[in-house]
Amino acid sequence: MSVQVKGTKLFLVMAAVLFFISPLFLSRYAIYVLNLFAIYALVAIGLNLVMGYTGLISAGHAGFLAIGAYSTAILTSVAGWLSPLIILHVAGLLTGLIGFGLGIPILRLKGIYIVMVTLAFGVVITEIILQWSSLTHGDDGFRVPRAVLGGFVFDSDKKLFFLIQPITIVMTLIARNIVQTRVGRAFRAIEQSEIASETMGIDLAKYKTKAFGLSAFYTGIAGGLFAYAMTYISPDSFNMGVSIDFIAMIVIGGMGSILGSIIGAVILTGIQHALSELPKVQTLIFGIALIVFMIFMPKGISGLIMDWKQGGPNRKQSQ
């Protein structure tokens, strides 16, 4: 057993080392895609916290991504001397605060009504960005200045790799810890039985708004990294279809699973880029995949992996 644990650890360390030297031999495009994987993994984790774990559907997460991206872009253009880590924090906290605020009207709602409110939120945010052109440059889009950390300019995908990947890894570990401790258990409890949760002392209002705030924080940070990676953002980058893609990510990857969030983000972003010439086919594939997974594999790919790990190899013996 301990040999096995040691082996796993060694494997993880080697994988990490390999991962962080990979920009040395990967193409510029491959690094760019890896960065997008990480950014969307953060979005998917964020969405999963509120939707998979707490059971509150959000169909407007592109709105949070937009808030994070635009606040990062604007902050960097007016105060470019600030460390990107500070800028990203501000962007994340601002988005989180707005998410927390959106959580309040949602407290009184259930199911489909939550979908409608969040959907409307996403639409309103892109509309605000479009109209508030003195700040956002509206339809023209926003050219995002390069992030500068202590004189080091993140002016290539390779350099951004070393900003985006560590942040994603740290935030993934934090999310994993959250879902395994008191707050995460409260989220999951709410998803499964509100009545039992509140009679066990869980303040539903507090935890639902917290879930929305935390989810928005993750998505806001992802938005900031997105702005840096894309170098140009426009309201169109955050339309309703993007929110639906995010839902597809966690449904396919696995609701209520951090690993699933990452898997879903990687698969969908991968397909998107593989089929970038055929956007219509993409939408078709996502749509069909969403339906198939919801019906036949509600636990997503991570659910399959878990089932296989728990029962698969030993199933014959136990029966």
**Beta carbon of residue 6, minimum distance to other proteins (angstroms, whole number):** 22
Contact 146, 227 (CB under 8 A): no
Q: Which residues contact 270 (CB under 8 A, 6 or more apart)?
A: 33, 37
For CA atoms 161, 32, 59, 295, the dihedral sign is negative
Tell which one of 22, 185, 239, 285 touches other proteins (CB under 8 A). 185
CA 283 to chain CA mean position, Å: 19
As to burial, measured by CB atoms within 10 angstroms (0-12 exposed, 13-18 middle, 19+ buried), residue 189 is: buried
Please give the structure tokens belonging to residue 87: 């800028």
Q: Is 181 in the site for other proteins (CB under 8 A)?
A: yes
Q: How far apart are CA 157 and CA 145, in angstroms?
A: 14
Q: Is 314 in the site for other proteins (CB under 8 A)?
A: no
Q: Which residues contact 181 (CB under 8 A, 6 or more apart)?
A: none
Q: Is 131 in the site for other proteins (CB under 8 A)?
A: no
Pick the piece of the chain touching other proteins (CB under 8 A) from 10-18, 84-92, 101-109, 182-190: 182-190
Tell which one of 29, 177, 274, 278 touches other proteins (CB under 8 A). 177
Pick the piece of the chain touching other proteins (CB under 8 A) from 4-12, 31-39, 111-119, 179-187: 179-187
Nearest to 65 by CA among 85, 81, 82, 46: 46
Residue with Cβ nearer other proteins (175 or 262): 175
**Beta carbon of residue 223, minimum distance to other proteins (angstroms, whole number):** 20
Q: Is 188 in the site for other proteins (CB under 8 A)?
A: yes
Q: Is 61 in the site for other proteins (CB under 8 A)?
A: no
Pick the piece of the chain touching other proteins (CB under 8 A) from 138-146, 152-160, 203-211, 284-292: 203-211
- Report the alpha-carbon angle 254-37-235, nearest 5: 100
**Beta carbon of residue 215, minimum distance to other proteins (angstroms, whole number):** 11
Pick the piece of the chain touching other proteins (CB under 8 A) from 136-144, 186-194, 241-249, 275-283: 186-194
Tell which one of 74, 75, 202, 252 touches other proteins (CB under 8 A). 202
* Backbone Cα Rg of the chain: 20
Tell which one of 195, 276, 280, 313 touches other proteins (CB under 8 A). 195
Tell which one of 73, 90, 178, 251 touches other proteins (CB under 8 A). 178
Pick the piece of the chain touching other proteins (CB under 8 A) from 32-40, 114-122, 172-180, 265-273: 172-180
As to burial, measured by CB atoms within 10 angstroms (0-12 exposed, 13-18 middle, 19+ buried), residue 305 is: middle
Residue with Cβ nearer other proteins (240 or 304): 304
Pick the piece of the chain touching other proteins (CB under 8 A) from 77-85, 193-201, 231-239, 267-275: 193-201
Helix (H) and strand (E) counts for the chain? Answer: 15, 4
Q: Is 196 in the site for other proteins (CB under 8 A)?
A: yes
Q: Is 182 in the site for other proteins (CB under 8 A)?
A: yes
Whole-angstrom distance between the N-terminal and C-terminal Cα of the chain? 25
Please give the structure tokens belonging to residue 229: 């990676």
Residue with Cβ nearer other proteins (267 or 297): 297
Q: Which residues contact 38 (CB under 8 A, 6 or more apart)?
A: 164, 165, 167, 168, 225
- List contacts with other proteins (CB under 8 A): 174-175, 177-178, 181-186, 188-189, 192-193, 195-204, 210, 214, 256
